[in-house]
């Protein structure tokens, strides 16, 4: 652990004075930049585009083979990378050809980059990082967003969840470090500049953990229905109490966590509560509020809540209703605003600048 802390200190010296703060950059530009919300279809072949200025569907990207399971939008807002799992929908016996696509968003032109199971991520520095799972190995690389060339540079021992792995990897917000979970359920820190695992955490075994995010100060990692881990000391300092497999998002100021209710609390009714829970950040988060979305639902509580995601201005959040809806909530006033009906599986989600 001492070696890891010395390594972090060295990174601060090297990069601390030359990199502008991502938060400062967002603060400067958030008032003049508009965004699209992209909504995938977990069992279909299309992606809906929603204008966040008026929360209406303005376009659709079609042409993927069935099962859009993950995507990211580049910092420019002009390029998207889409992954399709080999497992289709919630039926784990339906297998299809996995693919990784690139999409030129202004023209909606789609290209197939490879036919292997992959997860794509946008790093805090705006790089598109890909992890391709093949023969029990995770091949990690970067995609050149101008040429779509993938350069793999290492293999890592990382768990292949095969579906919905968007929060199975979390990123340090300053240093080129990602946090992942190995096949033997060990949480690790991997430096994708040095191309090596710089630390393996001993205080937890992440057997069933899927959804995790890093605090704004990079001191803690929050795991849904799991522990809060102090990354510097490798100690458990708290617990995220809430839904079993909820999705996490941070408020713009980093002071609050939003947690969706995908499945019910253990011992409660089968259906989820229809609420997004608000927790304070820090070493021991507690539920400090909730936003009830059920008034927007046409048939009572939706059968599932998946992702919660915030545009960079942080004023509203978008919550996937699972089967047919996107819910818009006011995170400042803590109230539901609008239901956007799509009549499709509404997973995954991503935010991108208007092009």
End-to-end CA distance of the chain: 44
Task: Report the pLDDT averaged over residues 218-241.
Answer: 90
Q: How far apart are CA 110 and CA 112, in angstroms?
A: 7
Q: How far apart are CA 83 and CA 190, in angstroms?
A: 22
Q: Which two tokens stand for residue 102?
A: 């690139």
Q: Which two tokens stand for residue 343?
A: 């009549």
* DSSP class of 144: -
Query: What's the pLDDT at 234?
Result: 96
Q: How far apart are CA 160 and CA 142, in angstroms?
A: 18
Q: How far apart are CA 238 and CA 232, in angstroms?
A: 15
Does residue 189 surpass a pLDDT of 90? yes
In three-state secondary structure terms, 4 is helix
Task: Report the pLDDT averaged over residues 183-202.
Answer: 94
Phi then psi for residue 134, to 5 deg, are: -155, 120
* DSSP class of 226: S
Q: How far apart are CA 193 and CA 151, in angstroms?
A: 13
Does residue 201 surpass a pLDDT of 60? yes
* C-beta separation of 330 from 289 below 8 A: no
Q: Confidence band (pLDDT; 50, 70, 90) for 268?
A: very low
* Omega within 30 of 0 (cis) for the link into 348: yes
Q: Confidence band (pLDDT; 50, 70, 90) for 11?
A: very low
List Cα–Cα distances, 154 to 119, 122, 123, 151, 306, in angstroms: 15, 18, 17, 10, 31
Torsion angle of C-alpha atoms 257, 261, 263, 267, degrees rounded to 10: 90
Query: What's the pLDDT at 271?
Result: 60
What helix, strand, coil percent values describe the chain, rounded to 5?
5, 40, 50
* C-beta separation of 212 from 240 below 8 A: no
Give 89's contacts (C-beta < 8 A, 6+ positions apart). Answer: 42, 43, 67, 345
Average pLDDT over all residues of the chain: 82
Tens of pLDDT, residue by residue over 270-289, are 566 778 889 998 888 888 99
Tens of pLDDT, residue by residue over 287-327, are 899 998 888 876 555 445 578 999 998 899 999 876 678 99
């Amino acid at each position: 652990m001492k070696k890891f802390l010395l390594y972090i200190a060295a990174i601060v010296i090297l990069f601390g004075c030359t990199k502008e703060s991502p938060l400062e950059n967002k603060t400067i530009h958030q008032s003049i930049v508009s965004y699209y919300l992209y909504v995938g279809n977990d069992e279909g072949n299309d992606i809906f585009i929603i204008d966040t200025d008026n929360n209406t569907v303005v376009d659709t990207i079609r042409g993927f083979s069935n099962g859009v399971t993950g995507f990211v939008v580049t910092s420019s807002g002009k390029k998207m990378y889409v992954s399709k799992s080999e497992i289709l929908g919630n039926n784990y016996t339906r297998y299809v050809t996995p693919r990784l696509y690139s999409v030129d968003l202004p023209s909606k032109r789609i290209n197939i980059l490879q036919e292997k199971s992959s997860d794509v991520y946008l790093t805090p520095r705006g790089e598109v990082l890909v992890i391709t799972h093949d023969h029990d190995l995770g091949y990690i690389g970067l995609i050149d967003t101008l040429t779509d060339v993938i350069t793999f540079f290492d293999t890592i021992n990382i768990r292949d969840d095969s579906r919905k792995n968007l929060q199975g990897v979390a990123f340090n917000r300053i240093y080129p470090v990602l946090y992942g979970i190995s096949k033997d359920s060990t949480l690790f820190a991997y430096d994708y500049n040095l191309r090596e695992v710089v630390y393996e955490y001993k205080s937890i075994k992440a057997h069933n953990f899927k959804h995790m995010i890093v605090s704004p100060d990079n001191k803690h990692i929050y795991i849904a229905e799991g522990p809060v881990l102090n990354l510097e000391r490798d100690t458990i300092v708290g617990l995220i109490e809430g839904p079993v497999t909820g999705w996490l998002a941070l408020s713009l100021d980093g002071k609050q966590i939003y947690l969706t209710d995908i499945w019910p609390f253990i011992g409660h009714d089968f259906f989820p509560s229809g609420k997004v829970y608000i927790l304070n950040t820090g070493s021991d988060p507690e539920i400090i509020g909730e936003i009830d979305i059920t008034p927007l639902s046409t048939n009572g509580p939706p059968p599932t809540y998946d992702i919660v995601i915030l545009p960079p201005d942080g004023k509203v959040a978008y919550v996937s209703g699972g089967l047919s809806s996107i819910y818009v909530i006011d995170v400042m006033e803590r109230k539901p605003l609008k239901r956007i009906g799509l009549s499709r599986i509404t997973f995954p989600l991503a935010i991108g600048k208007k092009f």
